[in-house]
Amino acid sequence: MIRLTEVTKRYGETLAVDRISLEVPTGEVSVLIGPSGCGKTTTLRMINRLIEPTSGLIEIDGEDVMSVSPEELRRRIGYVIQSVGLFPHLTVAENIATVPRLLGWKRERIASRVRELLAVVGLEPAEYAEKYPRQLSGGQAQRVGVARALAADPPVLLMDEPFGAVDPLTRERLQAAFERIQREVRKTVVLVTHDVDEAIRLGDRIALMRTGRLEQYDAPEALLDHPASKFVHDFVGADRALKRLGRVRVADVMRTDVVMTADGTRKIDVAACSGGRFVYLVDDDGVLEGWVDCRVLAAGTPAEEAGTRVDWREAAATPDTTLKDALSQMLGLGFRDLAVVDDRGRLLGEVSLRAIEQTMSGSDAHVSNLAEGEVLGAPADTGEGEVE
Amino acid sequence: MSATGRRYASAAGALALVVAFAWLVAQQPLWERALSAIFPGSANPVYPGVTLADLVVRHLAIVGFSSGLTMLVGIPLGVWVTRPSGADFREVVAAAVDFGQTFPPIAVLALMVPILGFGLGPAIVALFLYGLFPVVSNTVAGIEGVPRTLVDAARGMGMGRARILLTLEVPLAARVIMAGVRTSVVINIGTATVAAAVGAGGLGDPIIRGINVQNFAYVLQGATAAALLAVVADSLLAVTERLLTPRGLEA
């Protein structure tokens, strides 16, 4: 657990951080968010003493951070920054080994830990261990950055806009990877971002800051449903119904009883649909290749013509995709159903617009007490009309 | 060819150049024939008394001592002014080394003679001061060229200042620092000929004697050897620069 009590940072006359108190429970992710200059990064950097607080108390698992040397403290805290900060003259493996080396681990232990971590962040150890940072893409580099932060298995992880410097698609993948990793490792995480959607997606709690002060510290749902002030309300934005979809994953609403065949379109007829909307086409490994629309088939069109061929990278969601992103993808592609695949493209199921609508109307019951002037579309037409 | 292969190939090339140069300066009769051919009227075209090889060795000693001293003082000095403790002295140090290079070495030689007498002493002091500028300024530029975000990441992982300097900043700055050393040494090899004026010897001896006795064969002999020496040293240092460049930074 991380506990901040009345923490203040003053630069001359300016109060960068003004009596912040908050608790991050063990194993949870707290997101610090707010406009530029609100003190979120300063707050983060005080936790590992890259910035010394002017006053107040910061404790990690009950221990005052000022009671240990900064170096010793930081070796127990993973640190990930936006620019990644991989050392360009060291290989991926050597970069990840930084803190274990500082801690004097044995060579074999470091080597096996490096392999383990590369696998955890989704990089093939044999392929990436000996590469240099300049040979990596932005997304790969940030994965290595996360692996490096986790190297010595620190209980606490500080992340300063970790997914800020990559393109939206890569960011989405990194966020999904982070969620998956966090489910496994259960670190106590403080993450700084300026992206509300990221905060809602990743945070167990969100601390919204403004000019050095904490405006509200709450679960994302509470922040959306019960904004403590007009500032919070405005910062979160008007599309809160849509934002709430950022809290729900495709895995929670997808159907897995889909019909699929690896035999191509030859044997597909209306009977093969067995009542479903689509027959999905997969290859021998189960990788999505396309689908046949049963309604078109029922109208008498031969299966070869009723079929659609797709690249799963572009026309499918993963279980970790948020409903918000899935919805956006559906609207972009003009689909009412979206195939769900794993990270190698193997078909897992499908998610329908209808299921998303139900999720929205399900959560609608407790959103009636929004601030004045809020326009919430009826659940049924939120899908197509107002978004984006 | 692999990166490693290219490294070895360039090192082998530079070593071959060193061997060729060493062989050439040892060929006293060859120089005699060449110089008599160029200066047919001259009775004794080769600088007498000392072999060319001895002059080169002496020259290398002057350059080695002064450049060694330059590196020994210049690199730590450059590093120091990038540290918090030395940051206040940065401007002073920059001005001082700048002055060291703009002040004519021949004048430094003249001023040093009353203090250190004739010989190696004043020569080494003058050349040391003269060569300081590129070493110090490149060291500063190299260290400051290391992105701050890397230093921030290193601190955030619990690396101490000394460790950050030795394992991050210096390796990443090595190429730039070596480029400064290379410039300094090559300039030094040419400038060191002036040292003969205060009796330090070296390849400046035949040049100065040649001017005094109007024997331009001597001048040509000393100047040619000094120029070749500079070329060889330059290529050797270029290879060193390359070998000191971390693999991860190679294009």
Residue of chain A with shortest Cα separation from B168 = A87
CB neighbours (10 Å) of residue B117? 12
Least confident of A72-86, B68-82, B104-118, B128-142: B104-118
Say what the ipTM of the complex is. 0.82
Q: Cβ A72–B158 below 8 Å, yes or no?
A: yes
Q: Transcribe A328-377 into DSSP letters.
A: HHHHHHT-SEEEEE-TT-BEEEEEEHHHHHHHHHHHHGGGTTPPTT----
- Which of B155, B156, B171 is opposite residue A89, by nearest beta carbon? B171
pLDDT band at A189 (very low <50, low <70, confident <90, very high): very high
User: What is the nearest CA distance from A46 to chain B, expressed in angstroms?
Assistant: 11
pLDDT band at B251 (very low <50, low <70, confident <90, very high): low
Return the closest-CA partner of residue A161 out of A78, A83, A53.
A83
DSSP A282: E
A133 touches chain B (CB under 8 A): yes
Question: What Cα–Cα distance (Å) separates residue A125 from each residue in A117, A121, A137, A178, B153?
Answer: 9, 10, 16, 18, 23
Residue A369 has pLDDT above 70, yes or no: no
B18 touches chain A (CB under 8 A): no
Sign (positive/negative) of CA torsion A40, A45, A47, A52? negative
Q: Cβ A79–B147 below 8 Å, yes or no?
A: no
Looking at residue B41, its pLDDT comes to 78
pLDDT (tens digit, 9 = 90+) per residue, B38-73?
Answer: 888 777 788 888 888 899 999 999 999 999 999 999
d(CA A198, CA A174): 11
* Residue-range domains of chain B with CATH: 3-249 (1.10.3720.10)
Q: Cβ A74–B155 below 8 Å, yes or no?
A: yes
Q: Summarize the confidence of residues A180-187 as an average pLDDT.
A: 91
* pLDDT, mean over chain A: 87
DSSP A219: -
Residue A164 has pLDDT above 80, yes or no: yes
Q: Cβ B153–A79 below 8 Å, yes or no?
A: yes
Percent of chain A topping pLDDT 70: 93
Q: Cβ B158–A132 below 8 Å, yes or no?
A: no
The answer to whether A210 and A17 have CB atoms below 8 angstroms apart is no
Q: Summarize the confidence of residues A33-50 as an average pLDDT.
A: 94
Q: What is the largest CA-CA distance in chain B?
A: 75
* Residue-range domains of chain A with CATH: 2-247 (3.40.50.300), 251-356 (3.10.580.10)
Q: Transcribe A85-100 into DSSP letters.
A: ---TTS-HHHHHTHHH
The helix (run of H) or strand (run of E) holding residue A155 is none
A85 touches chain B (CB under 8 A): yes
Q: Which of A86, A87, A160, A190 to mutate to test the interface with B (most CBs of B within 10 A)?
A: A87
Tokens representing A264? Answer: 């191509």
B162 touches chain A (CB under 8 A): no
